[in-house]
Structure 1
């Protein structure tokens, strides 16, 4: 018997040292102990001190513990079940009622064996139960499990907050790539146009862009771009695009722009990634629209007389980045005063997923030709978004971009608006 007892003691000592080593990394953890019995409180405190835990705060009842917890924000709480003023069950409910301590592990000391009562303790918000009388190795083992869990949750929360902050910064940077108020005002003051736009990334960051670039007092470059996919990967590609696009000093024709962009993107995009793009130069003096497309949804053009309504332009062409051998040609369309151009990303005809989409290419043109679509660019954009809302569409599965421009029917260069 003596030899057996000695072996048992050695095993206990080894187990105790192992637990002590594991708990050493939690030495700075804040432990709140809620216990009205001073003997039990002293015993638990000694156990915790033995395992290297020094930041310990006592409380005599649940109400006192709530005040300490709100100020101190403990990493773990050990509480008795039966106490004066506020018992352990009510204390657990109160802890879980507030968001600040919702994830803090609460270990309840109890001697009850009734399954219904034990279930009620868990329903009140307890994380775990520790049987009385308290055995120090069981207490230490439970502390290790729940402190590790608490630390993991805290790290995940900090990581999530950091990612959210970085995404907010990226979202701001991406929004800055779109035409700002100063550029839009400059275009409205320089050219005889009415304009409206809508940009909505599907998950905060997206792969869509639209842009304007004044070329001279009578020529304006416009484009709409859509990278495959959405989210962070697509957004990174928009930053790549913008850096290269901004380096283009001279824009001669839309086809020349697409050829240069394709040469650049085909050299950097991974296999399976690409971009569709429509770009055009509006010559207000000649009343012409010169355009080129890289697999973009067919742009809609409304002639000045309006009798034919919005008609699709040829959107054929290889998407950018697929092959370096693609060649993009320019096409010319009349665009006298009174004409309108409507550009959009494919989210408009893929929401919800086909065949249940609110719009098809044909029905979108038909909708814009109806009287309910309005006559101004802002009315047209708003009416399209409103029609989508009627179809119970509150969010897009893909990034959504709309741009509408009308060549106002007035003498070019006039300031009369």
Structure 2
């Protein structure tokens, strides 16, 4: 945190660093005395641009006081070379020069100067300009550190969120163990998102699958996804989808901020008996593709999870024989806009699903076609899960 003097209200400059570059020793001493009187803690000197560039690398100043007319390398050339290095592109350079013609001043700024004072030195003006640029430098540095810290924390949170997803190594074993092949895609519209899907083992070799999409985006939606996952330990998915949805809804509702909710679908995959039992709350309609039949939409209507207490849900059942496939998804697939501001909608997604169901990796094929029309980044979080009864 930048230190502020309680008496003057000015920023404490004791940790700032100023590099003075001037071929005249009296000028260097005068500027050093002025800068020292402000409380600047570290000062270095250079006699020309060549020495100045070397000092920039070793001293790493917060501000350069630069003369223009110097031997070996003048201030113009030094500024140009300094600005070519991305590390010093934003370093404030205060030119202290006897040049007075407008054209000469413009040349200073074109070379990369940040500001200018004209010789002979006016002490109050130099002090004021040096303080402004050092305080700005400190503020920018503080802001950059804050952004870097936030970015690191968001990256860690994103990793935590992705760690809640099913383990890809476990998913790869399912074709051999239960005859189920799963492809999935999970993308957030920002660092964090409100989409969430979960798969776990149940009794009798059944699998319980949850797909949820919380309202909103970013951190608030992600926090709700974490809340939902935490509730799974207290209310583990059971064999009665409607009953479990009702219990989960009553547990989640008090935890959500006002006006927030989730679309959700909970399905029990019974691969032995070629059957899926499920309950839903306002979720996008999954696309069911049975062998020899046209794709159709499954009913995923119902009350949003967390929208109201004591909501009732209905358990529905479908046949899921060998060769059958289902596409589960969040609404980014149907509601994102293309360059003409048109949505894919359910009908368009069904066409993509139909064209992809014969592929070895149908979801990868579908997403390739989708991204050609709706290239990322998307405005909403996107989750897509392709289930295929591949048989044992």
TM-score range, shorter chain: over 0.9
Q: Which has the larger radius of gyration?
A: 1
The answer to whether the 8 A contact 1:23-1:144 is kept is no
Closer, same or farther in 2 for the Cα pair 1:354/1:89, shift >3 Å?
Answer: closer
The answer to whether the 8 A contact 2:182-2:386 is kept is yes
Supply the distance in 1 between the matched residues of 2:339 and 2:23 (Cα, whole angstroms).
Answer: 65
SS of the residue corresponding to residue 386 of structure 2 reads strand
Closer, same or farther in 2 for the Cα pair 1:141/1:225, shift >3 Å?
Answer: same
Map 1:2-401 → 2, pairs under 5 A:
25-249=12-236, 251-303=238-290, 305=291, 307-352=292-337, 356-357=341-342, 359-370=344-355, 373-376=356-359, 379-391=361-373, 393-401=375-383
Closer, same or farther in 2 for the Cα pair 1:53/1:218, shift >3 Å?
Answer: closer
The answer to whether the 8 A contact 1:287-1:335 is kept is yes
**Residues paired across the two proteins, number:** 387
* Normalised TM-score (structure 1): 0.88
SS of the residue corresponding to residue 291 of structure 1 reads strand
Match of 2:384 in 1: 402
Cα-to-partner distance string for 1:84-107 (whole Å, 9 max, x where unaligned) = 122112212222211222222110
SS of the residue corresponding to residue 144 of structure 1 reads helix
Closer, same or farther in 2 for the Cα pair 1:311/1:392, shift >3 Å?
Answer: closer
* Normalised TM-score (structure 2): 0.93
Q: How far off its partner does 1:215 sit? A: 0.7
SS of the residue corresponding to residue 44 of structure 1 reads helix
The answer to whether the 8 A contact 1:23-1:51 is kept is no
Segments ≥4 residues shifted beyond 3 Å = 20-24, 185-189, 353-358
The answer to whether the 8 A contact 2:174-2:181 is kept is no
Match of 1:6 in 2: none
Segments of structure 2 that go 5 or more residues without pairing to the other structure are none
RMSD between superposed Cα atoms in Å: 2.0
Q: How far off its partner does 1:296 sit? A: 0.5
Supply the distance in 1 between the matched residues of 2:284 and 2:199 (Cα, whole angstroms).
Answer: 19
Supply the distance in 2 between the matched residues of 1:66 and 1:179 (Cα, whole angstroms).
Answer: 54
The answer to whether the 8 A contact 1:75-1:150 is kept is yes
Supply the distance in 1 between the matched residues of 2:202 and 2:305 (Cα, whole angstroms).
Answer: 23
The answer to whether the 8 A contact 2:337-2:374 is kept is no
Supply the distance in 1 between the matched residues of 2:18 and 2:330 (Cα, whole angstroms).
Answer: 55
The answer to whether the 8 A contact 1:24-1:52 is kept is no
SS of the residue corresponding to residue 77 of structure 1 reads strand
The answer to whether the 8 A contact 2:265-2:278 is kept is yes
The answer to whether the 8 A contact 2:198-2:209 is kept is yes
Supply the distance in 1 between the matched residues of 2:196 and 2:245 (Cα, whole angstroms).
Answer: 15
Supply the distance in 1 between the matched residues of 2:190 and 2:261 (Cα, whole angstroms).
Answer: 19
Segments of structure 1 that go 5 or more residues without pairing to the other structure are 1-17
